[in-house]
Amino acid sequence: MDRRTHLRHLDTTSTAPTHARAARPAPGPTMVERAYDHLLDMLMSLKIAPGERIAIDTVARQLGISQTPVREAMSQLEAEKLVYKMPNVGYRASPQMTRHEVRDLYTLRQLIEPYAAARAAEAMTDEAIATLRAIDRDMSGVADGDARAYSRFAEADAALHRLIATASGNRLIADTIERLHAHLHIFRALYATNAPHEAAREHRAIIDALVAHDPAAAEQAVRHHLLCSQQRMDDVLAEGTPST
Ligand SMILES: [Zn+2]
């Protein structure tokens, strides 16, 4: 199974039974998944620049597939707020987050994610720990200058934070974090920085605390990670984007 497809399945392990999936042979990526993965890599690595128009027929031609799966992939990316649709124009890549949006985002995350991590550390099941280890393995595959590895790391980061939110046992917290779609946007802004390697160290502390069932350490590790992540975003935005 494609590693990314594997990871998407992992995202749901805490709410869906795993035995039902294990019985079926793993299918290869569908046309929609191929289109989605291709577009995600292009967006995350800024090969499609923020604001740039994305022509569905061109993408379909490049991949040698019909336009229908490309449209479906676009709808998924639109739900994740990575692209948006303009009447009579078609799709465009979303603009990068403004400094104001970044500040609001981290303020909210600092309010809820450290708390969620403490509750998750108390409630970690063997199944959640197994999922955590799989996410950990996916994250260690990140390599410099590889767009695919980079977007995989971003997805693994999203999966880690989603697991914490879900394992907290508070559905409203999980839904709130899910709706932010924060990770893909953050990693898109941080492309070509040292972010994955720095974040990997911070994630190590979080994962260790969760596995050790240590609420105080998990809370502290998430708080520290969010502070560092916000600082990385500030540094990138200070380089060019006008303050809004
Ligand atoms: Zn993270």
Nearest to 153, CA basis, from 167, 171, 137, 165: 137
- CATH code at 144? 1.20.120.530
Band the pLDDT of 9: cuts 50, 70, 90.
Answer: very low
Per-residue pLDDT, averaged over 16-40, amounts to 70
Q: What pLDDT does residue 142 have?
A: 66
State the DSSP code for 244: -
- Give the separation between CA 89 and CA 80, rounded to whole angstroms: 20
- List, for residues 153-185, the tens digit of each pLDDT value: 888 888 999 999 999 999 999 999 988 888 888
Q: What pLDDT does residue 69 have?
A: 96
Same structural domain for residues 152 and 37?
Answer: no
**Which structural domain, as residue segments, surrounds residue 115?**
99-239
More confident residue, 36 or 155: 36
Q: How far is the CA of 176 from the centre of ligand 1 (A)?
A: 16
Same structural domain for residues 126 and 230?
Answer: yes
Band the pLDDT of 4: cuts 50, 70, 90.
Answer: very low
Q: How far is the CA of 182 from the centre of ligand 1 (A)?
A: 10
Angle of helix 171-180 relative to helix 99-123, nearest 10 degrees, comes to: 150
- List, for residues 70-94, the tens digit of each pLDDT value: 999 999 999 988 999 988 889 999 9
- Give the separation between CA 212 and CA 200, rounded to whole angstroms: 18
Same structural domain for residues 132 and 69?
Answer: no
Q: How far is the CA of 227 from the centre of ligand 1 (A)?
A: 11
Q: What pLDDT does residue 238 have?
A: 81
User: Which one of 93, 119, 138 terminates a domain?
Assistant: 93
Same structural domain for residues 104 and 138?
Answer: yes
Q: How far is the CA of 75 from the centre of ligand 1 (A)?
A: 25
Per-residue pLDDT, averaged over 233-242, amounts to 75
Q: Tell me whether residue 215 is in a domain.
A: yes
Same structural domain for residues 77 and 193?
Answer: no
Band the pLDDT of 26: cuts 50, 70, 90.
Answer: low
Per-residue pLDDT, averaged over 104-116, amounts to 95
- Give the separation between CA 45 and CA 154, rounded to whole angstroms: 11
Same structural domain for residues 14 and 55?
Answer: yes
Same structural domain for residues 73 and 140?
Answer: no
Q: What pLDDT does residue 58 have?
A: 95
Q: What φ, ψ does residue 164 adopt, rounded to 5°?
A: -60, -45
Top mean pLDDT of 126-130, 150-154, 156-160 is at 126-130
User: Which one of 32, 64, 93 terminates a domain?
Assistant: 93
Same structural domain for residues 110 and 180?
Answer: yes
Mean pLDDT (the chain, rounded): 84
What domain count does the chain have? 2
Same structural domain for residues 108 and 132?
Answer: yes
Q: How far is the CA of 196 from the centre of ligand 1 (A)?
A: 9
Q: How far is the CA of 94 from the centre of ligand 1 (A)?
A: 22
Q: Tell me whether residue 244 is in a domain.
A: no
Q: How far is the CA of 90 from the centre of ligand 1 (A)?
A: 32
Specify the residue for token string 């639109």: 78
Same structural domain for residues 127 and 207?
Answer: yes
Q: Tell me whether residue 117 is in a domain.
A: yes
Same structural domain for residues 76 and 129?
Answer: no
User: Which one of 46, 75, 93 terminates a domain?
Assistant: 93
Same structural domain for residues 79 and 104?
Answer: no
Q: How far is the CA of 217 from the centre of ligand 1 (A)?
A: 16
- CATH code at 37? 1.10.10.10
